[in-house]
Structure 1
Amino acid sequence: MRLPALNGLRTFDAVARHLSMKHAAAELCVTPSAVSQQLRGLEEELGVSLFRRANRALYLSDAGQSLLPAIRNAFRLMTEATDRVRNGADSGMLTVSVTPFFAETWLVPRLGDFQARHPAIDLRVMATTALANLAAGEADVAIRHGLGSYRDMISDLLIAPMVVPVASPDLVIRLGSPGEAVDLLDWPKVHGADRGGWPLWFRHHGLIATARGASFDDVGLLRTAILSGQGAGLLPAALAEPDIRDGRLVGLADPVLLDGLAYYLVTPSAADLRPSVMAFRHWLLEQVQGLEEA
């Protein structure tokens, strides 16, 4: 299917931001009539009205509201891509997408060492639960928690944390303390984003289970769901230990390592040749090796 003309999309974006033909025209350095003509052509091509007019004011229609986020994201990606090309293949800026929990508890406290070793590399850390599209240039590298299988990407295992099943005291009082793993099969459960934790935990204990229940893409939200009694959940042992010690959570079994469930450094294959990516990858793996040797 043929895409609409770029000029029409740029005009739509400008009018949507200003909700004014006059102000959009001033931004685009054209006349208001030219803006109106471009907008009319885009609406005719799409077969919908992108704006509605009432009392001499301009508002986005339902179709316009649906289209706008994608158009703005597309222009942002194009701007970032052209900036990278204009500034060279390796400008010294390195964007790292990382989960908020890992960023706060592990990565950020160590970044001073990286900056001291590589002062020419400016890091941009995006702490987000969203999966950055590395192929589209949304980030240069990513650190993700999961099973390490990312299509057309290189994954380096960083840290496989011990995990422990926990629940709120109220839920334990209501359901009773589990004596062994099989007793947890019928408990309500909450999950991480990939829903892989509980099936792996039960498999580790020789059992088969499905991943039913709510899932959360941030470990902080998962902890909150467990604390509020929504179900049993798996948390990194280091995160759960203070809550268990202070009685806010109850440990349901001993901490274990689950095969494959870990934090991974993810890079696009082509990006491995970039000096800044290679420097960050080498430094990160060195930090992990230091932990293993300590």
Structure 2
Amino acid sequence: MATRLPSLSALRAFEAAARLRSFKKAAEELAVTATAISHRIRVLEEDLERPLFVRKVRAVELTPDGQTLLTAVSSGFQAIAMAIEQVRRPRRASVTLSATPAFATKWLVPRLAAFQAAYPDIDLHVHASNVPVDLSAGTADLAIRYGHGHYPGLTAALLLEDRFAPVASPTLRTAIRQKASQWPLIHFDWHRPLPVDLTWAAWMRASGHPPSDQSTGIRYSEESHAIQAAVAGQGVALLSLLLVEEELRMGLLEIVAEPVLKGMSYHVIKPGRRSVSDAVLAVEDWLVRLAETTHFNISP
């Protein structure tokens, strides 16, 4: 059975008078007369069968019971005020963006501070996976995919066109003077078959080197690990220049030799047959505009 509580107007009058130590000041704060404040508090005292104030000529003081009630009422009003503020506050939008771990780590994450500054009311969640998400299943709102741009049932916007070249640490590049067939190689495994050949064998053919065994060397299952291995001087890696742009700019990696292979393209995709929220459109627009300002050219 719920406890019967006094009226809210009586509790408000009590809290104001107790906090200000004055019926008159409480009346001014609540925009009522001092008589009204006195009446509400008297009704409250009668209801509780306890005196809450000691009335003096120019002020009032709380009794022990009044102090106990003030502590509870003040805490309750504060909790109510916080809840009202939270309810009144506009709900934050949330957008989930899926990308491969390598792209998320090397290209997207370093730029997210700029997104947060431009869109402080959107919570962007990055879903990193090498498995393409099903946007119709609700796992993500947008996805960044690597390919030729043909995604049936989805709408795709071009972000970035990729290129691949052999890169190595400056120390290793200086040390390797032998033929490319004798380089210490770093490999990484693509998680799905690609319509273009971006292996060491393809680069050797494009560079005119005679056929040789390019399977030797260190092999990684993740592209970002291959990048770190190249920075550490473990060998020469055939890597995306988009994903190592910071390492090239900082001089941690250098392009060892030509040719530069044309890779595929990154697109941001969204469902093509249903509407999306304004927040999703804002993230898509931000990605496209950001990609348009990405002009990074490195020559061997």
TM range (shorter): 0.3 to 0.5
TM-score (norm 2): 0.47
Q: Which has the higher helix share?
A: 1
* Structure having the higher Rg: 2
TM-score (norm 1): 0.48
